[in-house]
Amino acid sequence: MTQKISLTRYLVEQQRMDGHIPSQLRLLLEVVARACKSISQAVNKGALGEVMGSAHSENIQGEMQKKLDIIANEVLIEANEWGGHLAAMASEEMEGIYVVPNRYPQGEYLLLFDPLDGSSNIEVNVSIGTIFSVLLKPEGAGVSEQDFLQSGAKQVAAGYCVYGPQTTLVLTVGDGVAMFTLDREQGSFILTEENVMIPEDTQEFAINMSNMRHWDAPVKRYIDECLEGKAGPRGKDFNMRWVASMVADVHRILTRGGVFLYPWDKREPEKPGKLRLMYEANPMSWLIEQAGGAATNGKQRILDIEPTKLHERVSVMLGSKNEVDRATRYHGEAA
């Protein structure tokens, strides 16, 4: 019988093999995984667990918070604050950074997360997830919001956990992408996929088509050509999927390829996009690149963007390399 490899064992072996996961980072990732298990439990209870519905409060983005958004945020903070591996955390659900309280030792890492992405899907029982990104705190005393403002290329770990028909944790520490499925009987994440690779070409795109009239010309051109199918310039038919949970859409792309677009549009032209750079686009872009795909904002590689704000937004195109390259080229040609 082939032996099952738990997340713990995977991380220990990664640490041993090339030493690029220091023990503090290994602890951090185990703690994040444990928090995801708790969130998965809460999500699973649904209407039986008094976790559904609105919390009747707004987050910094001006979006209504759901009870589960707040629960997931608290689970991540409580799990991570005492271990000594972190200096501070930042979350979609908190305006400022959360510095590890003085009563606990401070570590050298910074953790950013979207505790429950796709929360409009909670009530309708469709996949949602937790997205996270890990940075090293720059040298120096104390910790401030400024310390978080590093490009995605500086991430030392990134991943997400998708709560769907299965709970799956997807992780990179810069050595490819690995997927772990939660074994509920054992209570542990088991390695189920290693060296995940996305095909360079695809016939499947993901975009919220209801925004079409607000798109910029290059996005319209790219999607129009897909819609023209075999008879059009692309010479092939395309399929469309849109879950409205980035975790679920990215998970599909990591599993079978595809391209995901949440571009800037004219609804709120002053905002660079809907999705947040530091805890949504950066971790997803790194995972996608690690799997051989590409991620840009239409002009540049997302991982090269130097953030100026914790909750900065960004236009996102990611997935199968040749499609992302094409959509990015259309932006260049239009400019």
| Nearer residue to ligand AHM within complex by CB, 274 or 321 | 274
| Nearer residue to ligand AHM within complex by CB, 14 or 245 | 245
Residue numbers of the site for Mg ion (CB under 5 A)? 114, 117
Residues 76 and 32 sit within 8 Å (Cβ to Cβ):
yes
Cα separation, 156 vs 283, in Å, equals 10
Provide, rounded to whole angstroms, the least separation between the CB of residue 50 and ligand AHM. 21
Helix or strand holding residue 261 (H, E): strand 259-262
Provide, rounded to whole angstroms, the least separation between the CB of residue 65 and ligand AHM. 9
| Nearer residue to Mg ion within complex by CB, 14 or 167 | 167
The residue whose Cβ lies closest to ligand AHM is: 246
Picked from ligand AHM, Mg ion, none, the partner binding residue 107 (CB below 5 to 8 A depending on kind) is none
Joined tokens for residue 76: 């991540």
| Nearer residue to ligand AHM within complex by CB, 118 or 218 | 118
285 dihedral zone (left: phi>0; alpha: psi -120 to 50; beta): alpha
Phi, psi of 299 (to 5 degrees): -115, -40
| Nearer residue to ligand AHM within complex by CB, 107 or 273 | 273
Picked from Mg ion, ligand AHM, none, the partner binding residue 258 (CB below 5 to 8 A depending on kind) is none
Cα separation, 186 vs 197, in Å, equals 28
| Nearer residue to Mg ion within complex by CB, 30 or 114 | 114
Could you give the 3-state DSSP secondary structure of residue 290? helix
Picked from Mg ion, ligand AHM, none, the partner binding residue 63 (CB below 5 to 8 A depending on kind) is ligand AHM
Provide, rounded to whole angstroms, the least separation between the CB of residue 333 and Mg ion. 31
Cα separation, 257 vs 288, in Å, equals 10
| Nearer residue to ligand AHM within complex by CB, 30 or 249 | 249
Provide, rounded to whole angstroms, the least separation between the CB of residue 307 and ligand AHM. 17
Provide, rounded to whole angstroms, the least separation between the CB of residue 299 and ligand AHM. 20
| Nearer residue to ligand AHM within complex by CB, 77 or 162 | 162
Cα separation, 15 vs 23, in Å, equals 7
Residue numbers of the site for ligand AHM (CB under 6 A)? 63, 92, 114, 117-120, 208, 244-246, 262, 274
Provide, rounded to whole angstroms, the least separation between the CB of residue 134 and ligand AHM. 19
Picked from ligand AHM, Mg ion, none, the partner binding residue 315 (CB below 5 to 8 A depending on kind) is none
Cα separation, 281 vs 22, in Å, equals 25
Picked from ligand AHM, Mg ion, none, the partner binding residue 245 (CB below 5 to 8 A depending on kind) is ligand AHM
Provide, rounded to whole angstroms, the least separation between the CB of residue 280 and Mg ion. 5
Beta-carbon contacts of residue 27 (< 8 Å; ≥ 6 apart): 83, 85
b/e 93-125 (16+ beta carbons within 10 angstroms → b): bbeebbebeeeeebbbbbbbbbbbbbbebbeee
Picked from ligand AHM, Mg ion, none, the partner binding residue 125 (CB below 5 to 8 A depending on kind) is none
CA 43 to chain centre: 18
Phi, psi of 5 (to 5 degrees): -105, 115
Place of tokens 């990591």: 254
Picked from ligand AHM, Mg ion, none, the partner binding residue 323 (CB below 5 to 8 A depending on kind) is none
The residue whose Cβ lies closest to Mg ion is: 117
Provide, rounded to whole angstroms, the least separation between the CB of residue 274 and ligand AHM. 6
Question: What CA–CA distances, in Å, run from 288 to 121, 293, 321?
Answer: 23, 5, 9
Residues 83 and 23 sit within 8 Å (Cβ to Cβ):
no
Phi, psi of 251 (to 5 degrees): -65, -40
